[in-house]
Amino acid sequence: MNAITRLNYLFNGVNARSLMGPLLILMILGMMVLPLPAFVLDVMFTFNIALSIMVLLVSIHTHKPLEFAVFPTVLLLTTLLRLSLNVASTRIVLMEGHTGPDAAGKVIEAFGHYLVGGNYAVGIIVFIILVVINFIVITKGAGRIAEVAARFTLDAMPGKQMAIDADLNAGLLGEEEAGKRRATIAQEAEFYGSMDGASKFVRGDAIAGILILFINVIGGLIVGVLQHDLDISTAASNYTLLAIGDGLVAQIPALIISTAAGLVVSRVGTDEDISGQLASQLFSRPQVLILTAAIVGLMGLIPGMPHVAFLLLAAVLGGGAYLMARRKKQAATPVIAASSAQTEVLDASWDDVTPVDILGLEVGYRLIALVDKAQDGELLRRIKGVRKKFAQELGYLPPSVHIRDNLELRPNGYRITLKGVAVGVGEVNVTQYLAINPGGVSGSLPGLATSDPAFGLPAIWIEASHREQAQILGYTVVDPGTVVATHLNHVMHTHASELLGRMEVQHLLDRLAKDSPKLVEDLTPKLLPLSTVQKVLQNLLEESVHIRDMRTIADAMAEHGGRVQDSHELTALVRIALGRAIVQQIWPQADELQVMALDAGLERLLTQALLASPNSPGIEPGLADTLLREATGASQRQEQVGLVPVLLVPAPLRILLARFLRRALPQLKILSHAEVPDSSNIKVTSILGARA
C-alpha cells in the first residue's frame, strides 16, 4: 500500500465539512507566526472582505435569530482572522515599507492610495470615523440589545415553560413537539448570552485596530529613518499610507460584521426576512409615501435648495404611492359575474335536508383566517391535536369537528355546538394574546380584562409586545388559536359521554375483536344488545372514567351480563373490575388515598331510604340539603390543601350519591369500597355527618 493509497484510506470516511473549522484556525495561527508574501496577503484580505459580505447577506435573509445560531462563533473567528491579517501585514509593512506604497500588496495600496487620494491626513480622519461608527454606535448598540435580550429571555423561561406545559396538558402539543419547543427556548437563552459575550470581541478588535495603526506609523518612522536611512517626510508618507491602508482594509470588514450582528439581535422573528419586512412594513402604505413626497416637494421649492434633487425624489415617491394605491384598489374590487340565464327552481327533495353536525365550530368572519386551509390556519392543526389527545386519554376517537363561518355571530366570536345546540361560546382577538392569571401573578398588565372561555379564570387581552413581560409576571400567555382549541378540548371532555355513539362503540368492539374475537362474539348480541354496551360506556365517561381498557370492560360485562341486564348495575360491576385504573387515574403517584367518608348515622339513613324504594330511591329534602352543604364544604377544604375531593361510600350507595351530587359538584369523585384495591392505604380526612 503506497502513501497515496494510505492517505485515501485515512481520509475516506472524513467529512470535508468537519475539516473546515480546524483548517481555518490553523490558517489564522499560521498567519500570526509565518511571514506571508504580498500576493498571499492580497488573497487573504480579499477573502476576509468576501466572508464579511457573506455573513451580512446571511443575516439579512434569516427569518429568526436561531437560524444563524453559529453567529457568535463566526464573530469570534472573523475577529481572529482580521487580527491575524493585521499581524501579518504589520510584519511586511515594517520589513518592506521602505520600498514603496505597494510593499504590502495591491489591496493595502488601493485602500491607502486610491480610496483616500494618497492624503494620509484624510486617511487618518476616515479611519477614525469608521472606528467611531463601529465601536461607539453599532457594536455598543448591538451589545446592549444582546445583553437585554439575554436577560429577558432568561427571565421569561419559566413562563414559556409553563405555556408549553399548558399546551401539552390541553392536547395541543405532542411530547416530541413540546421537547423541541423547550430546546428552542434553551437555545434562545444560550444564543443571546453568547452574542452578549461575542460583541466584546468586536469592541476589542476596534481598540486593537487603533493601536495597530499607531504602532505601524511610529514603528515605520523608526525603521525607515534609522535602518533604511530615509528622510522623515518620505518615511512618514510611505509608512503612514501603508498603515492607513492596512487599517481601512481591516475596519471595513469589521464594520460589515458589526452591522450583521446588529441586524441579527435587533430584529423581531417573523416568517419574513429583513427585505420582506422592510417592503411590507415600511413601503406598504400609500398615505405615508404621499405625505413624504409632499414634504420633500415643498422643501425643494425653497429658494437656495437643490430643486432638481428634491423635486425628482418627490415625483418618484408620489408616482410610487399612486401605483400602490391603484393596485390595492384593483385587488379590493370584487369581480361580479352576471348571468342572464334564469336558474330553474327545483322541487324540494331529501337532499335539501341538512343533517345536524354532532360536533361543530362556528366562527365570526374575523376568525376565518384561523380555520382557512388555504391560509394555513393554525386552528386546524390544533383541532387535530385536540382530537388525537382526546383519543389517547379517553380511549375512543371522537367525531370530526365540522367548521363553518356564521355571519350572525360577532366578528370575533365563535360557538361550539353539540348536535346543533350551542354548548360553548366565546370571543378572541386575532391580533392579541390572552394572558391568563393562574393565581399568584406578581403584577398587572395593560389590556382588556376578560375571562378564560374554557375555565372562567381571570385574563387580559394584551398586545404582542407585552407577551414576554406577562410571562415574567407569571401569566400563562396563549394565542387566539390556543384559546379556541382549549375551550373545544374542555367541551369535548365535559360531553364525552354524549359524543360516544353506536358507531364509535361498534368501532371499539371491532378493534377488540381482532385480538379477542371470542370475547366480542359472546358479549354482543348473545348476552347484551349494543345499546346496553353503549350505555355502560357512557356511564363510565359521565364520571370521567376512561374506556381505554376495553378488554377488562368487555370481560366484566360478559361475566355478569347473563344475570344482570340493567346498565347502571352493570356499570357498578365494571367499575369494580376497573378499580385499580380508577384509583390510579385519581391518584397517579400517591401511596396513601386521602378520602372523605360518611358518618355512620348518615350512612344508615341513606341505606334505609334506598331499601324503602329500591326502584326509585330518593333522599328526604332536609337531609339532601344538609348532605349537599357538607359535601360542598368538605370538597372545598380538600381542594384548598391541594387534594382531589373523593368521597368513599358503601357500594349500594354509590349510584344514589353519584346521581345526586354530580350536577352540583362535578369535581367530586365518588368511589365505593369495592372499587379500592386491597393493597391501597386509606386515610379519612373528613366525615360528612347528618346535622338537623
Q: 80 and 115, same structural domain?
A: yes
Distance (Å, whole) CA 246 – CA 232: 20
289-348 pLDDT, tens digit per residue, is 788 878 877 887 777 777 777 788 778 878 877 787 777 676 655 544 444 444 455 677
Q: Are residues 413 and 439 in the same domain?
A: yes
Peptide bond into 525 cis (omega under 30): yes
Using alpha carbons only, give the angle 62, 272, 58 rounded to the nearest 5 degrees.
20
- pLDDT at residue number 144: 72
Task: Write the secondary structure of 281-348 as one string of H (helix), E (strand) and C (coil).
Answer: HCCCCHHHHHHHHHHHHHHHCCCCCCHHHHHHHHHHHHHHHHHHHHHHHHHHCCCCCCCCCCCCCCCC
> How would residue 224 be classed by pLDDT, with cut points 50, 70 and 90?
confident
Domain check: are 162 and 225 in the same one?
yes
In a domain, 155, yes or no: yes
The pLDDT tens digits of the residues spanning 521-535 come to 989 888 999 999 999
pTM for this prediction: 0.55
Say which range, 254-258, 426-430, 432-436, 602-606, has the weakest mean pLDDT.
254-258
User: Under a CB-based contact definition with an 8 Å cutoff, are residues 206 and 252 in contact?
Assistant: no
pLDDT value for 267: 63
Mean per-residue pLDDT, 501-507: 92
Residues 136 and 70 in one domain: yes
What confidence tens digit (pLDDT) does each residue in 226-244 have? 777 777 777 776 777 777 7
Asked whether the predicted pLDDT for residue 7 surpasses 60, the reply is: no
Number of H helices, E strands in the chain: 26, 12
Supply the pLDDT for residue 112.
65
| Mean pLDDT (whole number) for 567-593 | 89
Q: Chain-wide mean pLDDT for the chain?
A: 80
pLDDT of 539: 93
Please give the pLDDT value at position 499: 94
Distance CA 435, CA 304 (A): 57
Q: Are residues 261 and 158 part of one domain?
A: yes
Residues 135 and 264 in one domain: yes
Report how far residue 208's alpha carbon sits from residue 195's, in angstroms, rounded to the nearest whole number: 20
In a domain, 10, yes or no: no
DSSP 8-state code for residue 356:
P
Query: In angstroms, rounded to a whole number, what is the distance separating the alpha carbons of residues 78 and 257?
Result: 8
- pLDDT score for 557: 93
pLDDT > 80? residue 432: yes
Are 255 and 211 contained in the same domain? Answer: yes
Which residue's C-alpha cell is 400563562?
A: 476
The pLDDT of residue 9 is above 50: no
User: At how many degrees (to 10) do helices 286-300 and 307-332 cross?
Assistant: 160
Query: Does residue 335 belong to any structural domain of this protein?
Result: no
Q: Which residue type occupies 187?
A: Q
Nearest to 379 by CA among 471, 487, 273: 487
Q: Using the 3D structure, point to which of 271, 297, 315 is the last residue of a domain.
A: 271
445-462 mean pLDDT: 92
**β-bridge mates for residue 459, sequence order:** 436, 450
Element (H, E) at 476: strand 476-478
Are residues 137 and 212 both part of a single domain?
A: yes
* Domain edge (last residue) among 241, 271, 301: 271
What is the domain range of residue 108? 28-271
pLDDT at 338: 42
Average pLDDT over residues 145-160: 69
Domain end (from 497, 531, 554): 497
Whichever domain contains 424, its CATH number is 3.40.30.60
Selection from 182, 158, 164 nearest residue 441 by Cα: 158
Check pLDDT > 80 for residue 189: no
Together in a domain, 120 and 165: yes
We report the CATH number of the domain holding residue 592 as 3.40.50.12790
pLDDT at 114: 62
Lowest mean pLDDT among 109-113, 358-362, 397-401, 438-442: 109-113
> Does a structural domain hold residue 579?
no
Candidates 144, 149, 139; CA nearest to 189 is: 149
Q: What are phi and psi of 343, to 5 degrees?
A: -75, 135
Same domain flag for 287 and 376: no
Contact, 419 vs 499, CB < 8 A? no
**In the structure, what pLDDT confidence band is assigned to residue 18 with cuts at 50, 70 and 90?**
low
Burial of 396 (0-12, 13-18, 19+ CB in 10 A): buried
Counting residues of the chain whose pLDDT is more than 70, the rounded percentage is 81
Cell of 366: 374575523
Q: Please give the pLDDT value at position 416.
A: 95
The mean pLDDT of 112-124, rounded to a whole number, is 66
Query: Taking residues 42-66, what's their average pLDDT?
Result: 80
Whether the pLDDT of residue 193 is over 90: the answer is: no
My answer on whether 654 and 610 are in the same domain is yes
In a domain, 314, yes or no: yes
More confident residue, 330 or 554: 554
Residue with the larger pLDDT of the pair 418 and 21: 418
**88-115 confidence digits (pLDDT tens):** 877 777 777 666 666 666 777 777 666 6
Residue predicted with more confidence, 103 or 72: 72
Whether residue 664 is contained in a domain is answered as yes
Instruction: Specify the range with the lowest mean pLDDT, choosing from 292-296, 481-485, 513-517.
Output: 292-296
The reply to whether 341 falls in a domain is: no
**Pair 191, 69: CB distance under 8 Å:** yes
Q: What is the rounded CA–CA span in Å between residue 428 and residue 432?
A: 8
Distance CA 232, CA 82 (A): 30
Is 552 buried (19+), middle (13-18) or exposed (0-12) by CB count in 10 A? middle
Do 230 and 98 meet the contact criterion of CB atoms below 8 Å apart?
Answer: yes
Q: Read off the pLDDT of each residue in 647-666 and give the average, rounded to a whole number.
A: 87
The residues near 459 (Cβ < 8 Å, ≥ 6 apart) are: 434, 435, 436, 437, 449, 450, 451, 452
Whether residue 548 is contained in a domain is answered as no
Q: Above pLDDT 90, what percent of the chain?
A: 24
Domain count of the fold of the chain: 4
Find the largest Cα–Cα distance for the chain.
Answer: 127
Are 123 and 145 in a shared domain? yes
129 or 512, greater pLDDT: 512
